Amino acid sequence: NAGVTQTPKFQVLKTGQSMTLQCAQDMNHEYMSWYRQDPGMGLRLIHYSVGAGITDQGEVPNGYNVSRSTTEDFPLRLLSAAPSQTSVYFCASSYIRTGGAYGYTFGSGTRLTVV
Amino acid sequence: GNSVTQMEGPVTLSEEAFLTINCTYTATGYPSLFWYVQYPGEGLQLLLKATKADDKGSNKGFEATYRKETTSFHLEKGSVQVSDSAVYFCALSSNFGNEKLTFGTGTRLTIIP
């Protein structure tokens, strides 16, 4: 009963490097999303997906790309890392019900530092 | 757009004290409201939810009532324990087919024995 699995848990990047944060869920949830958590800012939505092949931008999408080729996986790509992307990243998934999604399941997070 | 405003922290209480963490919201229509809890080093967990006006969500001794007239969803617990030390987030989801969660900034709670 894995739920939402994020890898890696910790990562240090140099400015300009690229990397992919992985997220996988085994609950057959239609909805998946990426948030970043910064002190005093709460969680802010980066990108989200309502199903395989469908993605859309959230509140803070710049510098990040996503794709959703399967229901289970929703990777987040940083094409050219910047110090402003130092943050804790959370992946979350949910069923979509009439009236919206609620009761998300969150992964345990990836702490990213860009130097 | 949607927004959530919650009580600034940090909040420090003694064990067995009464807890209130204030949360107010701005949203169109009739959103669903949530409280999430984040323990140190972990992801967020759903604590409780309410999907319509006057609903009361409850879990683990925590309660919150959906007050449409005051656009509030305050979190309360009658007697806190050291194990309640965590960061608490208020959040909302619009019920107009918008699946996105909008979060408050979080309130860090520390309980002293």
**pLDDT of A29-61, one tens digit each?**
989 999 999 988 889 999 999 899 999 999 999
Strands A42-51 and A54-57 come out as antiparallel
Is the Cβ–Cβ distance between A93 and A72 less than 8 Å? no
Contact B97 A100 (CB under 8 A): yes
Res B7 pLDDT > 90: no
* Cα gap A90→A108, rounded to integer Å: 7
* Residue range B22-43: mean pLDDT, rounded: 90
A 10 A CB-CB count for B12 gives 12
pLDDT of B88 > 70? The answer is: yes
Rounded Cα gap, residues B37 and B101, in angstroms: 15
- CB contact at 8 A, B49 and A104: no
Per-residue model confidence (pLDDT) at position A1: 62
A–B CB contacts, 8 A cutoff, strictly below: 66
Instruction: Check residue B96 and give its pLDDT.
Output: 54
The residue in chain A having the minimum alpha-carbon distance to the alpha carbon of residue B30 is A99
A74: pLDDT strictly greater than 90: yes
Alpha-carbon span B99 to A99, nearest angstrom: 8
d(CA B86, CA B54): 27
For residue range B67-78, list pLDDT tens digits in order.
999 999 999 999
pLDDT at position B12 is 97
Q: What does the pLDDT average to over B25-52?
A: 89
Give the DSSP letter of residue B71: T
pLDDT, residue B51, reads 86
The answer, for B10 touching chain A at a CB cutoff of 8 Å, is no
Which region holds residue A42: left if phi is over 0, alpha if psi is between -120 and 50, else beta?
left
CA A81 to chain CA centroid, nearest Å: 15
Backbone angles phi, psi at A103, to 5 degrees: 70, 50
Instruction: Give the model's pLDDT for residue B38.
Output: 93
Instruction: Provide the pLDDT for residue A33.
Output: 94
Residue labelled with tokens 């910790």 = A10
- B94 in contact with A at a CB cutoff of 8 Å? yes
> Which of B42, B93, B100 shows the shortest C-beta gap to A108?
B42
Is residue A104 predicted with pLDDT exceeding 90? no
Tell me how far apart the alpha carbons of residues A8 and A22 are, in angstroms, rounded to a whole number. Answer: 7
Chain A residues lying within 8 Å of B51, measured CB to CB:
99, 102
Q: Is B73 on the interface with A (CB under 8 A)?
A: no
A interface with B, Cβ–Cβ < 8 A, is: 4, 31, 33, 35, 40-45, 48, 50, 58, 90, 92, 94, 96, 99-104, 106-109
Note whether A94 and A104 are within 8 A (CB).
yes
Query: Kind of pairing, strands A110-114 and A10-13?
Result: parallel
pLDDT at residue A80 greater than cutoff 90: yes
Within chain A, where are the H helices? none
- Within 10 Å of residue B35's Cβ, how many Cβ atoms? 25
* Interface contact B100-A50, CB threshold 8 A: no
